[in-house]
Amino acid sequence: IAKAMPRYEPQLIMKIESITLREIHMPLVHFFETSFGRVYSRRILLVSVEADGVRGWGECVAGEDPYYSPEWTETAWPTIKHYLAPLLLQSELDSGRDCAARFARVRGHRMAKAALENAVWDAEARQKQLPLWKLLGGTRREIACGVSIGIQDTPEQLLQKIETELAAGYRRIKIKVKPGWDLNVLEKIRARWADIVLSVDANSAYTLDEVEHLRKFDAFNLLMIEQPLWNDEIYLHARLQKAIQTAICLDESILNARDADFALETGACRIINIKVGRVGGFSEAKKIHDVTVRHNVPVWCGGMLESGVGRGHNIALSTLENFRLPGDVSASKRYWKEDIIDPEVEVRADGMIAISDAPGTGYQVREELVRKFTVREETFRAGK
Ligand code: OSB
Ligand code: MG
């Protein structure tokens, strides 16, 4: 049997000299509410790695509370400090791709792992003077953007927000839903905009007992319903998908490429949302992408209210060929008065982001602003 020839590429060995972990605080321009709660301000962990004279940045997308996932800001810090950073500092790496194997002994903590792995990819791209999107294997020169609009105090406020985002050019509107804020608001949206591309995200707000209720979503011509059932459940989504017409998209339940394969084989969803933090970094995100190509199912890039660092990484990932649907990758100014990157992420009037050819993400970290927002900081070096 002919085996694929291994590809021998000239490798630059990377030596990670130091890793700096920071917590920054950034108030959101507008609160964001999902079925599990409301957030006004973000506590974001940033990682920077120094390797051979270049600096790479990564963002930990864990939330302020263990509601979206078991990981949260306070679990990520000691996990990086005591377990993950030492694993990177003790030896040389060929590439960001090597991080996942180094971290394998540590179970879970994918958002903490992704912050480090992505910082190494970022450093590698800068070291090789390549755009990160090319290093990741992307092809798209522009990417399509959607928005995720949280639960508001009143349906009228939601309609106002949708109007603003449509006027800005966004190509898909996603609203958060939960029992009591779902069919009633969909009625109002569709009465005003019969044809816009519209999705809903339940963040696990329903159970399979509510299948009759969930079937009523079919009347609204939705692009998808995201994560209707339990965050850790795939098989019961397959049961639900058989009972409803609207395409299910899984977010929380897909933690790795095996989950994606299982979900697509069992018919648990017809679309997958990839969040690079949720799955542990760029290498696992690429594997999930490749699984969806084999199943001919589209993916899109999810968001976690990231600062410019994570946003830049989401943009690079979205250039992979199978990111065929608009992502939750939207402009910096929707979240922040001032983002920590230069330039800020801007979305064109046609709802697209143009991809830069500059080395790295094409967005420079504004280190003086990061310092201003920093509330704690610690640097780790080999042997210390
Ligand atoms: O489920 O996609 C989600 C934000 C925090 C936690 C979970 C989710 C979200 C979003 C926001 O929908 C997307 C964005 O960054 O705009
Ligand atoms: Mg979601």
Ligand 1 and 165: CB distance under 6 A: no
Q: Which ligand is nearest to the CA of 250?
A: 2
Q: What percent of the chain has pLDDT over 70?
A: 97
Atom of ligand 1 nearest to the CA of 252: 1
Which residue, judged by its Cα, is nearest atom 8 of ligand 1? Answer: 304
Residues belonging to the active site: 176, 275
pLDDT tens-digit map of 320-370: 999 999 999 999 999 999 999 999 999 999 999 999 999 999 999 999 999
Ligand 1 and 199: CB distance under 6 A: no
- Give the tokens for residue 383: 């042997």
Atom of ligand 1 nearest to the CA of 303: 15
pLDDT tens-digit map of 170-202: 999 999 999 999 999 999 999 999 999 999 999
Q: Ligand 2 centroid vs 201 CA: distance in angstroms?
A: 6
pLDDT tens-digit map of 252-305: 999 999 999 999 999 999 999 999 999 999 999 999 999 999 999 999 999 999
Q: Ligand 1 centroid vs 69 CA: distance in angstroms?
A: 12
Predicted confidence band at 9 (pLDDT cuts at 50, 70, 90)? Answer: low
- Quote the pTM value: 0.95
pLDDT tens-digit map of 21-78: 999 999 999 999 999 999 999 999 999 999 988 999 999 999 999 999 999 999 999 9
pLDDT tens-digit map of 73-100: 999 999 999 999 999 997 788 888 999 9
Q: Ligand 2 centroid vs 49 CA: distance in angstroms?
A: 29
Ligand 1 and 304: CB distance under 6 A: yes
pLDDT tens-digit map of 118-161: 999 999 999 999 999 999 999 999 999 999 999 999 999 999 99
Ligand 1 and 23: CB distance under 6 A: no
Ligand 1 and 204: CB distance under 6 A: no
